[in-house]
Amino acid sequence: MLDLIVGKVGPVFLTILGGFLLTHVKIISREGIPFLAKIAMNVFIPAMLFQTLSQSDISAHFDLRLWGSYYSGVLLNFALVFMAARVWLKAKTDEAAVTAMGGVFSNIVLLGIPLVQAVYGEEGLVPLLIVLSIHPLTLLGLTILIVEGARGGDGHWLPKVVRSVVRVMRNPIIIAIVMGVFASLIDLPIPEMINGTLERFRTAGPTIALLLVGAGLYGQSVRGNLSASLLCTVAKMFVQPVLVFSVAHFVFDLPPLWLTIVTLVAALPAGANVAVVAGNYNVCVDRSSTTILITTIISMLTLPLLVLYAGPQ
C-alpha cells in the first residue's frame, strides 16, 4: 500500500512543491504563470484529453450512473452550502451562490487529471473525463444563473447566462472532450505522426498543470470572511466526498474503480474557476481565494489518505 503512495501519489505532490519552490526562486515568475496556464489549458491538456478519449471505447464506458452519482451528491452539497450561507452568514443571494460554488467546484483539470492518471492510468481517466464533460457547464451555469437572477431586476439577465454558457462550450477542454468522444464512437484512425505529437503534449500537460498548482499557492494568504471560507472548506473537503460516495455506493451501486474515481474527484480542492466567477461579479473575491488556498493545502493530506484507503484497483 505504501508503495502506491511513494511511487504514484508522492511524485504528484512533489511536483506541486516544485512549482511552489520554482516560483519562490523566481524561475517561474508571477507574470509567467498566466502564460503557462494558457499553454496548458489551451494546448497540452486538451491534446491529452482528445488522445485519451479517441483511443478508448467510450460506448463501453459511458454510463449515466457516473453523472447521477457525482452530480446528485454535488448538487445536494451546493444546496446545503447555499442555505448555510444565507441563514448562518446572512449572505445575499449572489454571495451565497458564489460561496456554494466554492464548496463544490473541484480542481479536476489541474490536479484531478494528473493524480488519477498517475495512480489509476487510462482506466481511471475515462470515467473522470465523463464526469468532467459537464462539470463546468453544470456548476458554472447554476452559479451564474442564480447570481444573474438575483441581480436581474432590469430583465436582461437571461442573455448574460446564455453568453456564459456559450463561453463554457467554447472552452478548448470541452471541445477536446467532445471531439475525443466523437472520434472514439466512429473509430477514427489517428495518423502516427499526429498521434506521436499528441503523446508529447500528453506528457507535458499534467506536469505543467501540477507546477501551476504549486506556483498558484506561492504568495497567497488567508484573507476575507474566514467563516465563509471555513464553511466552504468543510463542505468541499469532507461533506462532499461523503455525499458522493454514499449516493454512488448505496443508490447507484457503482463498480469499485468508478466509485473510487467519483469520490476522489469530489474530494479535490476548490478550482480556480471559483475565483474567476467571484472576480467577474466582484463578490466574495477574498474568501474565494482563501478557500482555494486552504482546500489545496488540506488536500495534500486527505488525497493521499483517500488513495491509500481505496488501494490499488
| pLDDT (tens digit per residue) in 96-147 | 999 999 999 999 989 999 999 999 988 899 899 999 988 988 898 899 888 8
Q: What is the DSSP code (8-state) at residue 188?
A: P
Positive or negative, the CA dihedral 41, 71, 268, 127 is negative
> In the numeric block, which cell numbers belong to residue 187?
473509430
**What integer best gives the mean pLDDT of the chain?**
89
Quickly state the pLDDT bin for 168 (edges 50, 70, 90).
confident
Residue type, 181: V
CA distances to 68, 165, 198 from 37, rounded to whole Å, are 31, 21, 18
Contact criterion met (CB below 8 Å) for 47 and 198: yes
Measured in degrees and rounded to the nearest 5, phi and psi for residue 222 equal: -75, 125
Place of cell 471541445: 175
Walk me through the domains of the chain, giving residue ranges and CATH numbers: 2-305 (1.20.1530.20)
Quickly state the pLDDT bin for 156 (edges 50, 70, 90).
low
Query: Residue 154: is its pLDDT beyond 70?
Result: no
Rounded to an integer, what distance in angstroms lies between the CA atom of residue 111 and that of residue 126?
Answer: 15
Task: Give pLDDT tens digits for 50-72.
Answer: 988 888 888 777 889 999 999 99
Among residues 3, 19, 9, 11, which one has the least CA distance to residue 208? 19
Place of cell 464506458: 61
